Amino acid sequence: DIQMTQSPSTLSASVGDRVIITCRASQSIYSWLAWYQQKPGKAPKLLIYKASSLESGVPSRFSGSGSGTEFTLTISSLQPDDFATYYCQQYINYPYTFGQGTNLEIK
């Protein structure tokens, strides 16, 4: 199975900050990577697919980049609504696997 490793596990930041979350795959997944946002008690929400494609309705402050084994999710200017947990997911093959999550908290 492909292992997905996110860093950091916890990130403290302030409104207006630019933040970057990294996701590494244990083998090349080309661009078959998605990013999700999850808030407590809610289902995950798709932000980015195919590494850099922004899902419809997602604010443009979110962006994704990378290919192969290294990927990043960038939030250009944090808003209060962005404090949540973020997960990456590979879908080059089954079983799909998720990163362990990055908890983005208010500094």
Partner 1 sequence: EVQLLESGGGLVQPGGSLRLSCAASGFAFSSHAMSWVRQAPGKGLEWVSAISGSASSTYYADSVKGRFTISRDNFKNTLYLQMNTLRADDTAVYYCAEDLAGYLPSWGQGTLVSVSS
Among 19, 25, 75, 87, binds partner 1 (CB under 8 A): 87
Q: Does residue 36 interact with partner 1 by CB under 8 A?
A: yes
**Helix ranges restricted to H, the chain:** none
Stretch that binds partner 1, among 11-19, 41-49, 61-69, 74-82 (CB under 8 A): 41-49
According to DSSP, residue 41 is labeled: T
Task: Give the interface segment with partner 1, choosing from 11-19, 62-70, 71-79, 87-95 (CB under 8 A).
Answer: 87-95
Query: DSSP label at 68?
Result: T
Distance (Å, whole) CA 44 – CA 101: 11
| Backbone phi and psi for residue 84, each to the nearest 5 degrees, phi listed first | -170, -175
* Residue 32 touches partner 1, criterion: CB under 8 A: yes
Instruction: Quote the CA–CA distance of 10 and 29 in Å, as a whole number.
Output: 24
Residue ranges binding partner 1 (CB under 8 A) = 1, 32, 34, 36, 38, 42-46, 49-50, 55, 87, 89, 91-92, 94-101
